[in-house]
């Protein structure tokens, strides 16, 4: 059964809480304001924008005492030709970090990690875009703090502005302009890779744009399907890979358009993983995942063949459980099977008339398997 009310309650339990969202807003807003007012950095900054799972509305609530995190991209005027060593470009931001985040930041391979008591932030710098694209990175459609879920009509265009900036008289004209205007096709950005000592291509705007478009094609369900499956992996297979964006990318490739419910979408995604990638897993290989906007870049480059085989195997088992849950005509049985996938955050059936059914179904059902060695594939 679809049991949409159960899924809505489930999503409330796995989404970022309002307090977490407030902390993320406070953290990244303060950081961005400081960057744009710093006398040494202002001359070399074009603008900043958000990227990552928080921006794409695919983040789930962290487990335990872990903090929520947000990624901030700073588009600079730094020319790669003048800073062939990317570490020297990153060093330009050290005085700023020392001033505001002493003892709270660390230099990472491609970014700066900032750990505060209430939020984690990842600060990424880029080299200069072309002069033609500078204005794109200053537009509201790029700099907005709105997420994919919040900005349902978002498009990468000049005329888009956040709802908070639209007066009642402008609403109709803005909506018409948003529909008519052609979206910008942006070039990739370049970020420093300190360890490899080279600049690497990245295209976060294309990932955001793709996710927004996909979510619309899926009637607003795609980002919630991603959250549900991320939660499945987090509570059942925490050390499993792919995770993060590589997992999200895979789910995007396996999620059909025009999905009418989260339950149907989750089932379809797991089943498509099973059928689409069976030959890779059985031959102990892995697919090439072409990054959005960067055809030569493999999102799965750091995923091993063994990791993909293990993931495919557990996803195959999940597909069986999801299909049983979706096809069940009994609300109690269906909720029990969904709980087998998603754990205790998924609501129990509460119909007292079905109390005997719950007891009988529980008695005759196997308990979830706890794997003693998660590094080995499942066997059936």
Residues 190-219: tens digit of each pLDDT: 999 999 999 999 999 999 999 999 999 999
Whether 149 and 11 have beta carbons less than 8 Å apart is answered as no
Q: Is pLDDT at 180 greater than 50 in this prediction? A: yes
% of the chain with per-residue pLDDT over 70: 92
> Average per-residue pLDDT in the chain?
92
Give yes or no: residues 374 and 274 share one domain. Answer: yes
Q: Is residue 320 part of a domain?
A: yes
% of the chain with per-residue pLDDT over 90: 87
Tally of structural domains, the chain: 2
Whether 239 and 374 have beta carbons less than 8 Å apart is answered as yes
The residues that bridge with 200 in the sheet, in sequence order, are 191
In this prediction, residue 349 has a pLDDT band, given cuts at 50, 70 and 90, of confident
In this prediction, residue 357 has a pLDDT band, given cuts at 50, 70 and 90, of very low
Whether 129 and 76 have beta carbons less than 8 Å apart is answered as no
Q: Is residue 234 part of a domain?
A: yes
Residue 363, pLDDT score: 44
Whether 92 and 44 have beta carbons less than 8 Å apart is answered as yes
Q: Is residue 170 part of a domain?
A: yes
Which tokens is 179 given?
Answer: 């529909």
Q: Which domain holds residue 100?
A: 16-202
Residue 350, pLDDT score: 75
Give yes or no: residues 273 and 157 share one domain. Answer: no
**Segment holding 325, helix H or strand E:** helix 305-327
pLDDT per residue as tens digits for the range 364-373? 444 443 343 4
In this prediction, residue 294 has a pLDDT band, given cuts at 50, 70 and 90, of very high
Q: Is pLDDT at 342 greater than 60 in this prediction? A: yes
Least trusted range by pLDDT, from 17-21, 50-54, 367-371: 367-371
- State how far the Cα of 261 lies from the Cα of 319, in Å rounded to an integer: 16
| Domain C-terminal end among 161, 184, 202 | 202
Whether 79 and 127 have beta carbons less than 8 Å apart is answered as yes
Give yes or no: residues 269 and 350 share one domain. Answer: yes
Whether 233 and 243 have beta carbons less than 8 Å apart is answered as yes
- Beta-carbon contacts of 83 under 8 Å, excluding residues fewer than 6 positions away, are 89, 127
Q: Is pLDDT at 52 greater than 50 in this prediction? A: yes
| Domain C-terminal end among 169, 202, 235 | 202
Give yes or no: residues 32 and 58 share one domain. Answer: yes
Give yes or no: residues 209 and 183 share one domain. Answer: no
pLDDT per residue as tens digits for the range 244-254? 999 999 999 99
Give yes or no: residues 157 and 30 share one domain. Answer: yes
In this prediction, residue 302 has a pLDDT band, given cuts at 50, 70 and 90, of very high
Q: Report the pLDDT averaged over residues 228-233.
A: 98
Residue 367, pLDDT score: 40
Q: Report the pLDDT averaged over residues 329-343.
A: 97
Residue 370, pLDDT score: 36
The DSSP letter of residue 73 is E
Residue 182, pLDDT score: 94
3-state secondary structure of 4: helix
Q: Is residue 255 part of a domain?
A: yes
Give yes or no: residues 267 and 250 share one domain. Answer: yes
Q: Is residue 248 part of a domain?
A: yes
The DSSP letter of residue 137 is G
- State how far the Cα of 77 lies from the Cα of 98, in Å rounded to an integer: 22
Q: Is residue 63 part of a domain?
A: yes
Q: Is pLDDT at 359 greater than 60 in this prediction? A: no
Cβ atoms within 10 Å of 259's Cβ, excluding its own = 22
Whether 270 and 315 have beta carbons less than 8 Å apart is answered as yes
CATH of the domain at 175: 3.30.460
Give yes or no: residues 285 and 192 share one domain. Answer: no
- State how far the Cα of 181 lies from the Cα of 154, in Å rounded to an integer: 12
Least trusted range by pLDDT, from 57-66, 101-110, 269-278, 312-321: 57-66
Long-range Cβ contact pairs of 304-309 (< 8 A, separation 24 or more): 304/241, 307/240, 307/241, 307/242, 308/242, 308/277, 308/280, 308/281, 309/281, 309/284, 309/377
Whether 222 and 252 have beta carbons less than 8 Å apart is answered as yes
| Domain C-terminal end among 180, 202, 224 | 202
In this prediction, residue 351 has a pLDDT band, given cuts at 50, 70 and 90, of low
The residues that bridge with 47 in the sheet, in sequence order, are 75
Give yes or no: residues 31 and 129 share one domain. Answer: yes
**Residues with active-site annotation:** 69, 71, 122
Q: Is pLDDT at 361 greater than 70 in this prediction? A: no
Q: Is residue 126 part of a domain?
A: yes
Give yes or no: residues 365 and 259 share one domain. Answer: yes
3-state secondary structure of 28: helix
Provide the whole-model pTM: 0.91
Give yes or no: residues 376 and 257 share one domain. Answer: yes
Q: Is residue 46 part of a domain?
A: yes
Give yes or no: residues 297 and 379 share one domain. Answer: yes
């Amino acid at each position: 059964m679809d049991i949409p009310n159960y899924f809505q309650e489930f999503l409330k339990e796995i989404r970022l809480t309002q307090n977490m969202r407030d902390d993320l807003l406070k953290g990244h807003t303060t950081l961005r304001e400081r960057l744009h007012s710093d006398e040494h950095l202002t001359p070399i900054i074009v603008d900043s924008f958000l990227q990552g799972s928080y921006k794409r509305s695919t983040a789930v609530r962290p487990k335990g005492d872990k903090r929520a995190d947000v990624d901030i991209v700073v588009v600079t005027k730094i020319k790669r030709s003048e800073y062939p060593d990317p570490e020297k470009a990153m060093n330009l931001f050290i005085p700023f970090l020392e001033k505001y985040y002493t003892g709270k930041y660390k230099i990472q391979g491609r970014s700066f990690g900032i750990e505060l008591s209430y939020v984690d932030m990842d600060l990424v710098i880029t080299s200069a875009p072309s002069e033609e694209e500078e204005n794109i990175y200053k537009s509201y459609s790029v700099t907005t703090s709105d997420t994919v879920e919040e900005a349902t009509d978002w498009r990468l265009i000049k005329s888009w502005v956040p709802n908070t900036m639209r007066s009642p008289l402008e609403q109709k004209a803005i909506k018409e302009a948003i529909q008519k205007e052609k979206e910008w096709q942006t070039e990739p950005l370049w970020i420093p890779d300190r360890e490899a000592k080279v600049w690497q291509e990245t295209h976060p705007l294309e990932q955001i744009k793709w996710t927004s478009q996909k979510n619309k094609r899926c009637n607003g369900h795609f980002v919630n399907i991603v959250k549900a499956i991320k939660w499945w992996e987090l509570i059942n297979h925490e050390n499993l890979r792919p995770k993060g964006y590589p997992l999200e990318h895979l789910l995007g490739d396996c999620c059909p358009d025009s999905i009418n419910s989260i339950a149907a979408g989750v089932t379809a995604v797991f089943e498509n993983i099973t059928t689409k990638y069976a030959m890779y897993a059985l031959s102990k290989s892995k697919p090439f995942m072409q990054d959005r906007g960067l055809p030569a870049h493999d999102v799965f480059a750091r995923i091993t063949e063994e990791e993909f085989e293990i993931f495919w195997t557990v996803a195959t088992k999940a597909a069986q459980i999801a299909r049983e849950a979706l096809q069940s005509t009994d609300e109690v049985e269906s909720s029990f099977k969904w709980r087998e996938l998603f754990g205790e955050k998924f609501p129990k059936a509460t119909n007292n008339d079905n109390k005997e059914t719950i007891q009988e179904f529980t008695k005759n059902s196997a308990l979830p398997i706890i794997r003693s060695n998660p590094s080995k594939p499942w066997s059936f």
